[in-house]
Structure formats: structure tokens, C-alpha cells
Amino acid sequence: MKTKDYFKDFGKTVGILAVASVIAYFAKTIGDAMDPVVVMYIFAVMLISRFTNGYFWGILGSALGVILTNYMFTFPYLAINFSIEGYPLTFIIMLATAILTGALTSGYKQQKEEAEAIAKKLEASYEERLSFEKAAEQEKMRNNLLRAISHDLRTPLTGIKGAATILIENGSSMTSEDRKHTLNDIIQESDWLIRMVENLLTVTHISTDSMKVEKNEEIAEEIVASAVSHFNSLIPSGIEVRVPDELLLVPMDATLIEQVLINLLDNSLKHSGENPKITVELKADDNRALFSVEDNGVGISESEISYIFEYGKAQEESYRTDSARGFGIGLPTCKTLVEAHGGKIWANSKPTGGSIFSFYLPTKE
């Protein structure tokens, strides 16, 4: 036993016997009977055996209890006299109590230690399994992300290269309208790449465990208007915007939520065909701000809805590998940004054709 533990158990033994002696003294003065005194010391022996290590302190407490009973509470007071009838039996009872309590306590402590050791092993095993699963999930996400990036970068780069090659080889013979159209294709593909890079920069700073969003109260209508302004020139009929009559203040990172809307608008534009009709709606819903982007495209099947917000899953499931570029990382980035704000995003296919992408943000922290 360590010296520190030895003095700790010694202090417990002395302290318990001292308290028991005080209580026994007052019990003796009230009733002038020995039974409460004996019971009190037996109880003290039980406490000593319970809260100290091993059998020694309980046995010592038994001996000291008998001596204190003899010395303090029997005539002649403040004197030792073991010839009084009954004291050997009292000592044996207290000693047996100490040994029995010590044995039970030791067994309890041993079981407790074994249980704690098993619990620690189970916890370590569980944490190890969680760590392994997390690493596997991160590796899968990384592979899916790389697959999505390689897919979504290849198409615009091929388009830019093709348009530039046409201008170099046939530029002198092309009409001004054809050159303008080809240059416009390069601009559109470059804009796509810019948005792609912005999403990549966002993804590299995103960790589902540690990402913290700096929120400020923003006028949601202004964020919608800023996002829509990037696309009005691309849609002849313009984008229909519906907003509530009263200003809607929402705690958010304005840049990130604008990026979410731009990604959703870009996705709707890609899949809406030659005559796109896109509607952006903002409305208050209890303590939430509800955003939605609706289009008249081909819609989304139920099976596709289950994975369009997962990195690289669209390519993994061989969804739209044509010029529409698939879903890439835009929609998964939307999900990550919305959830980082404490919101939720989802998608639905309209019965009449087209799709609706919606998300909400809490209006109160």
C-alpha cells in the first residue's frame, strides 16, 4: 500500500470512530443504556471496512471500538477493565462484522474494477471501430469527390478547347455572329469553371465536425436578388422571383447562401432545355425562411432523389453523363452549406414536369 493511501485509510478510521464516539456519548446520556453504544460502534466498523482497503482497518476498528466502549462507557469510566462480563462476546461480534464486511467490500471492489476494465476495453474497441468507419467514409467521400471533379471539369474544358480550336482554324472565315456565338460558349464554360472552383474552395474548408459559419442577420430578399442577377442574361424570359411583402431577416453567411442559390439555379438551367422557365420563391414559414427553385426540366426520378446530394454519387450511379454534366459537386455542396446553417435541403419532381429544390434556414438562433 502506498504511504498516501495508508494515511488516508488511517484518517478515515480515526474520523469514523471519533464521530461514532460522539454520537454514542449523546445516546448514552439520553437513555443510559449500552445497546445504542454497541450498535453505533458496530456500524462504525462496517463503515470503516467499506471505505478502506483490505481487512486490517476493519479489524483495527473492531479492537478500538471494544476498547473505547470499555474505556468511555462502562464503570469505572476512563479506565480499562476487560473482566466485565460480555465484553469478549462483543469483541467477537464486532470482529466478525469487520471481517464479513471487509470480504463483501473487497469482492464488490474487485467486481467493480473488473467491470470498469471491461467497460474501458469496450469503449476503446468502439472508438477504434468508429475511427475506422470514419476513415473509410472519408476515403469513400474523397474518391467520390475526385470522381465528381474529374467528370465535371472534363466537359467544360473540352468545350473551351473545342471552341478555341474552331476560332484559330476557322476564325477568319466565320461570320461575326458565329464568332460571337463561339466566344459566348467559351464565356459560359468559363463561368461554369469559376463556379466549380468556388465550390471546390468551399469543400476544402468544410468539415462536418468542425465547420463553423459566421452568421449575421441578412435581408434574404437581397441574397435572392444577387443570386438571380447572375442568370437573367442567360434566360430570355427572365427568372420569376416571389418574395414576401415584409422584409425577412435571416441569420446566415450571405456569401455561402448566395452560393447555394447559384448552384441550384445553375442546376435548373442545365436541365431545363431550350426554353427554361425558372421560379425562385422565398417565404416565411414559422421560425424558418423557406427558399425554393422551380424549373420546367425533365424532373428527377425517385431513385435519383436519394443520392443527388451526395458527392460523386451521381456519376457512381451513371446518371446523365451527357452534356448536362450530371449533378457533380454543386448539389452536395449546397447540402453541406445549408446543414452548416442548421437548415435542411431536399428535392421533389413535379407531376407536370420539372423539379423543385427547396431548403430552409432558421430565422432564430
- Model confidence pLDDT, tens digit, residues 269-311: 888 877 888 999 999 988 899 999 999 888 888 778 878 887 6
Q: Is residue 150 part of a domain?
A: no
110-148 pLDDT, tens per residue?
A: 788 888 889 888 888 888 888 888 777 767 766 666 666
Q: How many independent structural domains does the chain possess?
A: 2
- In the predicted structure, residue 55 carries a pLDDT above the cut 50: yes
Based on its alpha-carbon atoms, the radius of gyration of the chain, rounded to whole angstroms, reads 40
Spatial distance between the Cα atoms of 49 and 197, rounded to a whole number of angstroms: 71
348 and 233 fall within a common domain: yes
For the packed helices 254-270 and 220-228, what is the interaxial angle rounded to 10 degrees? Answer: 40
Q: How many CB atoms lie within 10 A of CB 339?
A: 15
Give the HSE-up count for residue 193: Cα atoms under 13 Å, Cβ half-sphere.
15
Spatial distance between the Cα atoms of 10 and 6, rounded to a whole number of angstroms: 6
Spatial distance between the Cα atoms of 114 and 46, rounded to a whole number of angstroms: 23
**By residue range, what is the domain housing residue 89?**
3-122
354 and 216 fall within a common domain: yes
- In the predicted structure, residue 104 carries a pLDDT above the cut 50: yes
- In the predicted structure, residue 106 carries a pLDDT above the cut 80: no
Q: What are 139's three cell numbers? A: 476515403
Q: Is residue 66 part of a domain?
A: yes
Spatial distance between the Cα atoms of 288 and 295, rounded to a whole number of angstroms: 23
Region label for 222, one of left (φ > 0), alpha (ψ between -120 and 50) or beta (otherwise): alpha
- In the predicted structure, residue 211 carries a pLDDT above the cut 70: no
Q: Is residue 142 part of a domain?
A: no
104 and 216 fall within a common domain: no
The DSSP output letter for 323 is: T
Global confidence as pTM: 0.53
Spatial distance between the Cα atoms of 352 and 337, rounded to a whole number of angstroms: 30
Answer with the one of 69, 92, 122 that is the final residue of a domain.
122
Contact 186, 164 (CB under 8 A): yes
Spatial distance between the Cα atoms of 228 and 116, rounded to a whole number of angstroms: 60
Spatial distance between the Cα atoms of 300 and 319, rounded to a whole number of angstroms: 11
110 and 236 fall within a common domain: no
- In the predicted structure, residue 316 carries a pLDDT above the cut 50: no
H or E element, residue 224: helix 220-228
Question: What's the pLDDT at 191?
Answer: 78
Spatial distance between the Cα atoms of 330 and 318, rounded to a whole number of angstroms: 17
- Which one has a higher pLDDT value, 324 or 52? 52
**Mean pLDDT of all residues in 6-22:** 88
In Å, what is the CA distance from 329 to each residue of 181, 200, 277, 311, 358?
28, 8, 23, 6, 17
Question: What's the pLDDT at 244?
Answer: 92
Answer with the one of 122, 149, 164 that is the final residue of a domain.
122
| Helix %, strand %, coil % of the chain (to 5) | 60, 10, 25
235-270 pLDDT, tens per residue?
A: 777 899 999 999 999 999 888 899 899 889 988 888
117 and 244 fall within a common domain: no
Answer with the one of 99, 122, 145 that is the final residue of a domain.
122
Q: Is residue 170 part of a domain?
A: no
H or E element, residue 361: strand 355-362
For the ranges 6-10, 149-153, 342-346, which has the lowest average pLDDT? 149-153
110 and 219 fall within a common domain: no
Question: What's the pLDDT at 209?
Answer: 45
Three-state secondary structure call for residue 331: helix
Mean pLDDT of the chain: 80
Q: Is residue 226 part of a domain?
A: yes
Amino acid sitting at position 355 = S
The DSSP output letter for 196 is: H
Q: Is residue 116 part of a domain?
A: yes
Q: Is residue 271 part of a domain?
A: yes
Q: What are 206's three cell numbers? A: 468544410
114 and 233 fall within a common domain: no
Question: What's the pLDDT at 345?
Answer: 95
